[in-house]
Structure 1
Amino acid sequence: MIFGTLPSGETVQRVELSSGRLRAEVLTYGAVLRSLEVGGLDVVLGLDTLEDYLTRSRYFGAVVGRYGNRVAGGRFTLDGREHRLPVNNGPNSLHGGTEGFDRRVWTITARTATSVTLELTSPDGDQGYPGTLTASVTYTLDDDALRLDYAAETDAPTVLNLTNHSYFNLTGGGDVLGHVVRMEAGHYLPVDDGKIPTGELAPVKGTDFDFTEPHAVGDRLGGAYDHCFVLDGGVEVTAGGLTMRVTTTEPAVQFYAGGMLDGVATPYGPFAGLCLETQHFPDSPNQPHFPSTVLRPGERHTSSTAYRFTA
């Protein structure tokens, strides 16, 4: 089903998926998860038109890459060679640069009633990243869960950090400050003023970042979370009688409570939705003691994240 046409003439498709009480819509633009209904309640923030995604989106529902999150100074060195990236977040590069994967039209390569696979080829030098990269994401509904499976291969050494940037609101409206979060994460990454990790893996115990016992998003820091947590297990969010449990093969999750959403620039105001971006650590290419995000020829990157819903 056609969702719209870009100024370039490229057509953007909308795919509907269904399984049990779950319904989803996925766009080929940005591999966006436009909606996710649980028993008729839409729990992700979506936009009405393609024009909105071009001009009013803050990565709503998109797959971001090549490198999700921030790369300090818009540069990194790999195998002795420095690579420079577009800076679009102060002095840093965020979510793949000015024309990242969220702004590309992906190709549908497989589709069933419950799943769709989308693929994107990123050429050598794209946004400053080396190597021609082929990436894919598969959205699958399974009764009470949505699973995202990522895969990627390259023909030259590169770095990679794919994630999905959906904003969740389990009540379908209002803000998420009352959503209760429990996170199996004993450490988080402190950041500097540019939100670049300092390199420390800090214990959460005794801090405002301790979600090992459940508490509401707005209970501490006024909900001003935009931090990476090192996962020991999963994450649970509960609101309005609905619980979402997030599990992943990735080592971390960026928890962003949506505090910087702008109700003028986007259709949604502050704290309208929260993000749980499962991923590797921010700025890993510049911090060698972090888990490696290097992908080399002959290797195949795979990762999986599931969102399971219970009443």
Structure 2
Amino acid sequence: MTHFTISSTSAEHGINLYTLRNAYGMRVVISDHGAALVSWWAPDRYGREADVLLGYKDIDRYIANPAYFGSIIGRWGNRIANGRFTVDGVDYQVDRNNGDNHLHGGEGGFHLIPWQVQPDPEGLRMTLVSPHGAAGFPGNVLASVLYRLNDDGQLRIDYTATTDAPTPINMTSHGYFNLNGGADNIYDHILSIDADTYLQVDSKLIPERAAEVAGSAFDFRQPAPIGPRLSWPDEQLEIAGGFDHCYCLHREETNADESRRHAQKLRKVATVYDPGSGRQLTVSTTEIGLQFYSGNFLKDVPGRGAQSYAPHDGFCLEAQAYPNQINGPEREAVILRPGEVYRQTTVYRLSVRE
């Protein structure tokens, strides 16, 4: 069962907050600006509630949201090298807002746009129209997300999008988690990721090659605490200041005409456990990639407390296509064409281990 209520409104900027609440009192607060996850209140093993999402103290900061806290990212999550790509023989230059690269939709990013709330008996549905030329991308895109919270602690995010012209689409959710509720950093969090390979990056964080995780700091096939891995001597960690890499998730075999991302079934791909609180986060997705980001650039980002955030105060597990995939051999899988529907589902489940 999902209970849907409006919690409050910011009169100054017209930002509305919506609360999804399950039968056990778990609450997820979502803003209609950027369709952002603002808070997720959940109990620990002793029944004490805490907010497991990082965020701003003042809701107005979500208007610019330079840290992308909790937002839906589009049209393109992650990076595009030099902000350039080619679709059907036409070259496009999109915003370069991360050095020479495009990042997270640029100035036309979905995280910067007010979303419209649509009636839906299953949960909170939000939609937006991204016009042709937004951030340099072709085509008018209608995007939708449906948030649902059930009594098992599952927050399900269903994404859809349509277009009137071929355009790259790669949507994701950029929630920052800290399962101890912000009482400490994420060093003690124990992570597992069901992936044998990850994408190594160059100095601009653009993927260069797929590498085996075996024998490296990136091997989370068996659960391991995050903190010790951050101090391993590894050139890839030095480049990114920590983890900011995409894991290549296991895929099912598909026919040539079923190569698009939504051909993958929803499957569990990662688990994070905090021994102190007993909270556990499980991630399931239909996507082929999972970006693990260890909050490397959180220094001096204002948060909810008196002190600003510090590096590694939170982590992200962003289900998505591969970074820069539009310029790689699987580019066709990330091009949405007229008459097609982009579909993606990712589920974050919070539970408590004794």
Q: Same fold (TM over 0.5)?
A: yes
Partner of 1:228: 246
How many angstroms apart in 1 are the aligned matches of 2:71 and 2:136?
A: 21
User: TM-score if structure 2 supplies the norm length?
Assistant: 0.83
Structure 1 residue identity aligned to 2:341 = R
Structure 2 residue identity aligned to 1:195 = L
Alignment of 1:104-183 (within 5 A): 104-112=113-121, 115-143=123-151, 144-173=153-182, 174-183=184-193
How many angstroms apart in 2 are the aligned matches of 1:298 and 1:268?
A: 44
Per-residue deviation, residues 214-238 of structure 1 (Å, max 9, x unmatched): 1111112338100000112510000
State the shift of 1:99 in Å: 3.2
Percent identity for Structure 1 against Structure 2 = 40
The answer to which of 214-223 and 132-141 deviates more is 214-223
Count of residue correspondences: 305
The answer to which of 102-111 and 25-34 deviates more is 102-111
Residues 236, 264 of structure 1: alpha-carbon distance in 2 compared, 3 angstrom cutoff: closer
Structure 1 residue identity aligned to 2:326 = P
How many angstroms apart in 1 are the aligned matches of 2:65 and 2:116?
A: 23
How many angstroms apart in 1 are the aligned matches of 2:148 and 2:99?
A: 36
Structure 2 residue identity aligned to 1:237 = V
Partner of 1:237: 272
Contact 1:180/1:217, CA 8 A, preserved across alignment: yes
How many angstroms apart in 2 are the aligned matches of 1:290 and 1:208?
A: 29
Contact 2:53/2:178, CA 8 A, preserved across alignment: yes
Residues 241, 291 of structure 1: alpha-carbon distance in 2 compared, 3 angstrom cutoff: farther
User: TM-score if structure 1 supplies the norm length?
Assistant: 0.94
State the shift of 1:82 in Å: 0.7
State the shift of 1:271 in Å: 1.0
Partner of 1:260: 297
State the shift of 1:13 in Å: 0.9
Partner of 1:2: 9
Contact 1:153/1:297, CA 8 A, preserved across alignment: yes
Contact 1:56/1:265, CA 8 A, preserved across alignment: no
Contact 2:56/2:302, CA 8 A, preserved across alignment: no
The answer to which of 210-219 and 221-230 deviates more is 221-230
Contact 1:4/1:49, CA 8 A, preserved across alignment: no
Per-residue deviation, residues 93-138 of structure 1 (Å, max 9, x unmatched): 00011231100000001255x7200001001111100000000111
Structure 2 residue identity aligned to 1:306 = V
Partner of 2:341: 300
Residues 56, 307 of structure 1: alpha-carbon distance in 2 compared, 3 angstrom cutoff: closer
Contact 1:74/1:87, CA 8 A, preserved across alignment: yes
Structure 1 residue identity aligned to 2:17 = R
Q: Superposition RMSD on alpha carbons, in Å?
A: 1.6
Equivalent position to 2:38, from 28, 34, 37:
34
Partner of 2:258: none
How many angstroms apart in 2 are the aligned matches of 1:3 and 1:185?
A: 42
How many angstroms apart in 1 are the aligned matches of 2:144 and 2:330?
A: 28
How many angstroms apart in 2 are the aligned matches of 1:216 and 1:135?
A: 37
Alignment partner of 1:18 is 2:13: no
How many angstroms apart in 1 are the aligned matches of 2:65 and 2:345?
A: 29
Equivalent position SS for 2:135:
helix
Contact 2:96/2:102, CA 8 A, preserved across alignment: yes
Equivalent position SS for 1:73:
helix
Equivalent position SS for 1:189:
strand
How many angstroms apart in 2 are the aligned matches of 1:268 and 1:57?
A: 13
Unaligned 5+ residue runs, structure 2? Answer: 1-7, 44-48, 232-236, 251-267
Residues 303, 289 of structure 1: alpha-carbon distance in 2 compared, 3 angstrom cutoff: closer
Equivalent position SS for 1:77:
strand
Partner of 1:278: 319
Equivalent position SS for 1:299:
coil
Equivalent position SS for 1:168:
coil
How many angstroms apart in 2 are the aligned matches of 1:265 and 1:172?
A: 16
State the shift of 1:85 in Å: 0.8
How many angstroms apart in 2 are the aligned matches of 1:56 and 1:127?
A: 17
Contact 2:243/2:293, CA 8 A, preserved across alignment: yes
Alignment partner of 1:192 is 2:202: yes
Structure 2 residue identity aligned to 1:302 = R
